[in-house]
Chain A
Amino acid sequence: MSKGPENRLEDPRVSDAYRDLADEHAPEPLNRKILVMAAGAGTPYARARAWMRPAAWAATIALSFAFVLELTQLPSNETVIDGLSHTMRGDETGPAVGRELRSTEEFLPRDAALIQEAEEQARRQAGTNQRPVPLEADDDVGEQRVADESMALQRAAARREATDRLAADHVAAEARGAAASFAARSDAVAGEAACAASLRETPQAWLDCIRELRESGNEEQADREYEEFRQVFPEFDDSGTDK
């Protein structure tokens, strides 16, 4: 059952005629206008879409990391207060003291009690030296600040003295120990080296060595060598020698 020309949905003649008729094109200025509009509308959205999400993630991670780092490296309250006090005066004593104290506490944890005791003493001393604040004065705040700074200075000086004293004590103790160790080691070396092993092989050579020690003034070493000589050569007749 074929459809007649009058019932067809598509007719090549109509299509060709229409195609011959419809040869208009969109005006080029209109094309440019619409393309510019599309580019202008698309660019900010595309740029935002391209980097907004990664940037948000990076910022979140960086802020979290910085927050955790700040929490883990937060100094003690006293150190912060001292540091702020010295910063207000413009010198760098405070932070240096804080660093010194931290390093001392890490190096000498058993001396922390001594440092704390020195601080308490300094605090008491500062309390006795502090002037009473007049209630009716207009510059209450300024005087209080001066008093606080004076107290902070005294506390810092006390800390410095305590840490210096502790460091000096430790240095002295180490020096004493080193000296004793050196002396003992020197004695041992001296005793061992009084007469060489080659000289001890023959009785006469050993006795000659002992005599030289006595002539050089090393009587103690000469006596120790002679005792050893007698243990080794008890039968040797040394009556003819000046042992």
Chain B
Amino acid sequence: MATNATWMAEADAALFSDVRLPYAPAMGHTPDDSALMLRYKDGDIAAFEALYRRHNDPLYRYLLRLCHHADTAEDIFQEVWGKIVKARASYRPTAKFTTFLYRVAHNCFIDHLRRNKRHANSTQLEAELYAHPGEALETVTERSLAKERLGKALRELPDEQRDAFLLHEEAGLSIDEIATVTGSNRETAKSRLRYAVRKLRSAIDECPERR
């Protein structure tokens, strides 16, 4: 989570390095998500773009890991942002924007599951998702094997555990926030996350280059 937070902070710093936004406080602080959403509510398109660039990749990965299929993930991704855009008029910063965003995404994914009962045996992530152009074949193979092991373990997790793990890793949500997004109580969310981490660690320990 610390790595994820650092990564997001770096992205924000790069994003706002030469832009001073009206809602941003002095001394180089970046505006929080709720302020950006309120500015978009007032018609500031640039605020929405900043908000989108801050969350698009983590949300995309979250949906990609949940759906295991790029096209489905893109469809749900687009549906989620469409709902965020439509909800701007009634948006109230009563909760953390990330919680709001992933709550919408979680609901969209649940709706997708209900629409498509065959999701449980859906297609695997495409092999090209793991490919890195320009890398040596041996490195690509090792990396692909490691990723595939972890990816396989992630895919084999129950949906609820995988959801809790991705919300923790991609969105940086706390146990309480995961409970809010998934509509469960705190202990259930905590248990799901604990089981997910344990299984993934076991999968990593089986990987030779991780030992």
Question: A34 near B: Cβ within 8 Å?
Answer: yes
Interface centre among A16, A18, A42 (most CB of B within 10 A): A18
Interface residues on B, range: 35 or more
Interface membership of chain B positions 147-159, coded 1 if the CB is closer than 8 angstroms to chain A and 0 otherwise = 1001100100000
How far is B151's CA from A34's CA once the two chains are assembled, in angstroms?
A: 28
Q: A8-B197, A22-B65 are in contact. Are A38 and B52 (CB under 8 A)?
A: yes
Task: Return the chain B residue nearest A29 by Cβ.
Answer: B74
Q: Is A50 a contact partner of B60 (Cβ separation < 8 A)?
A: no
On whether the beta carbons of A34 and B1 are closer than 8 Å, the reply is no
Chain A neighbourhood of B59, CB < 8 A: 26
The 8 Å CB contact of B49, one of A15, A35, A41, is A35
For the complex, would chain B's binding face be called helix, strand, loop or mixed by DSSP majority? helix
Contact with A along B69-86 (1 / 0, CB 8 A): 000001001100110011
Name the A residues within 8 Å of B122 (CB-CB): none
Residues of B within 8 A of A6 (CB): 198, 201
Q: Say whether B74 contacts A27, CB under 8 Å.
A: yes
State which residues 8-53 of A face B: CB under 8 Å. Answer: 8-22, 24-27, 30-31, 33-35, 37-39, 41-43, 45-47, 49-50
Q: How many A residues are at the interface, by size bracket?
A: 35 or more
Q: What is the bound-complex CA distance between A43 and B88, given in angstroms?
A: 13
Is B127 at the interface (CB under 8 A from chain A)? Answer: no
Contact: A38 with B45, CB < 8 Å?
yes
Contact A45 B3 (CB under 8 A): no
- Is A142 in contact with chain B by the CB < 8 A criterion? no
- A7 sits at the interface (CB 8 A): yes
At the interface, yes or no: B21 with Cβ under 8 Å from chain A? no
**Chain B residues proximal to chain A, CB less than 8 Å:** 1-4, 7, 40, 42-45, 48-49, 52, 56-57, 59-61, 64-65, 74, 77-78, 81-82, 85-86, 88-89, 129, 143, 146-147, 150-151, 154, 168-170, 175, 190, 193-194, 197-198, 200-201, 204, 210
| 29 pairs, CB–CB < 8 Å, chain A vs chain B | A9-B190, A10-B168, A13-B204, A13-B210, A14-B201, A15-B4, A15-B169, A17-B150, A18-B169, A19-B3, A19-B4, A19-B169, A20-B147, A21-B146, A21-B150, A24-B61, A24-B129, A26-B56, A33-B78, A34-B78, A35-B48, A35-B49, A35-B52, A38-B40, A38-B49, A42-B40, A42-B44, A49-B43, A50-B43
